[in-house]
């Protein structure tokens, strides 16, 4: 049975709120990309000067963890298989101690679309796949509403690959240690557009504090790749009014992608 987009939106309780607005993202609009290229992550970003990653932070395997600069260089040279293997055995931050499974990422490795969340939750930790459970179903339906699927022209990953205890936000040290994997995934995929899902993902990618509402509706750049910010599906489950705004964001993303595909502008 074929399910229409309107059927999906009705099922989600989003219809008729979720309506596409008329309007096209012009080359000029995308030209206004904010160049938020973050500085390369260094040891200084993740810890105060002189605060080495030592046994107190990494009791199980401190000896096997490379200094961050060396880690960044090592991960930057990995292929998909090496990157997956490295994540599966990673003990570079304290999150390794509480995980059930690492959550590497899922989807099309040649995708034009990349969706990035903050960290695995309980369901993801058990399954080893990002965005499963209720929030995952909502994300899948959001994708379907713009004719996308997680296994076709879409790749989904998180900023950190192991579940923070109690679903707390990842700490700066954890993000700094895990970010080389996300960088490598992005380099291997070379998506045309990144969608940051939620404040934690957006703030960690853009390296500046801001609200989702202030970051929406603009084309940012993450290390040269255009990036749009919208709400995290888990937040949308709790907040009906934001669903309409998330739909606006997806429509904005679709129009931005069209502009990028037509090569009206090149990402800088
Ligand atoms: Fe390694 Fe990332 Fe897991 Fe930390 S969160 S242990 S850096 S894979």
Dig out the tokens for 112 from the structure: 């034009």
Distance 48 CA to ligand 1 centre (A): 20
How far is 60 from 90, CA to CA, in rounded Å? 11
pLDDT in tens, 43-87: 323 333 333 333 334 444 555 788 999 999 999 999 999 999 999
SS3 category, 225: strand
Distance 168 CA to ligand 1 centre (A): 15
pLDDT at 197 exceeding the cut of 80: yes
**What's the whole-number mean pLDDT along residues 182-203?**
98
Alpha carbon nearest to ligand 1 atom 3, residue: 162
How far is 153 from 198, CA to CA, in rounded Å? 21
| pTM for this model (two decimals) | 0.81
pLDDT, position 62: 54
pLDDT level of residue 106 (50, 70, 90 thresholds):
very high
Mean pLDDT taken over the chain: 83
Q: Which residues contact 176 (CB under 8 A, 6 or more apart)?
A: 41, 45, 46, 68
Give the nearest ligand 1 atom to 87 CA: 8
- Residue whose C-alpha is closest to residue 254's, from 147, 152, 156: 147
Distance 159 CA to ligand 1 centre (A): 10
Strands (E), 138-190: 154-158
Whole-number Cα distances in Å, 192 to 9, 18, 145, 257: 26, 25, 19, 7
pLDDT, position 263: 73
- Asked whether the beta carbons of 142 and 246 are under 8 A apart, the reply is yes
pLDDT, position 33: 47
Instruction: Identify the sign of the CA torsion 147, 151, 154, 158.
Output: positive
Ligand 1 proximal residues by C-beta, below 6 Å: 87, 90-93, 95-96, 102, 160-162, 174, 177-178
- Residue whose C-alpha is closest to residue 175's, from 162, 191, 190: 162
For residues 240 and 153, which has the higher predicted lDDT (pLDDT)? 153
How far is 55 from 3, CA to CA, in rounded Å? 54
Give the nearest ligand 1 atom to 160 CA: 5
- Residue whose C-alpha is closest to residue 196's, from 231, 168, 172, 224: 231
What is the side-by-side order of every strand in the sheet holding 220-222? 106-107, 154-158, 113-117, 193-197, 225-230, 220-222
Q: Which residues contact 126 (CB under 8 A, 6 or more apart)?
A: 100, 101
pLDDT in tens, 199-253: 999 999 999 999 999 999 999 999 999 999 999 999 999 998 899 999 999 999 9
């Amino acid at each position: 049975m074929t399910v229409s987009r309107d059927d999906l939106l009705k099922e989600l309780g989003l219809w008729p709120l979720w309506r596409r607005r008329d309007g096209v993202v012009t080359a000029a609009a995308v030209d206004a990309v904010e160049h938020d290229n973050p500085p390369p992550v260094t040891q200084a970003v993740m810890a105060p000067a002189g605060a080495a990653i030592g046994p107190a932070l990494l009791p199980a395997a401190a000896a096997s963890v490379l200094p961050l600069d060396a880690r960044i260089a090592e991960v930057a040279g990995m292929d998909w298989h090496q990157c997956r293997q490295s994540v599966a055995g990673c003990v570079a931050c304290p999150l390794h101690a509480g995980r059930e499974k690492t959550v590497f990422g899922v989807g099309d490795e040649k995708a034009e679309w990349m969706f990035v969340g903050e960290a695995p939750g309980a369901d993801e930790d058990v399954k080893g796949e990002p965005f499963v459970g209720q929030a995952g179903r909502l994300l899948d339906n959001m994708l379907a509403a713009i004719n996308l699927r997680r296994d076709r022209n879409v790749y989904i990953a998180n900023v950190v690959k192991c579940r923070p205890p109690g679903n707390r936000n990842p700490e700066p040290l954890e993000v700094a240690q895990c970010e080389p994997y996300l960088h490598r995934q992005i380099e291997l995929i070379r998506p045309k557009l990144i969608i940051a899902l939620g404040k934690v993902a957006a703030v960690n990618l853009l390296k500046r504090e801001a609200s989702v509402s202030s970051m929406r509706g603009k084309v940012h750049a993450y290390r040269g790749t255009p990036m749009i910010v919208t709400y995290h599906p888990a937040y949308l489950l709790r907040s009906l009014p934001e669903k309409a705004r998330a739909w606006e964001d997806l429509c904005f993303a679709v129009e931005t992608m069209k502009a990028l595909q037509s090569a009206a502008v090149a990402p800088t």
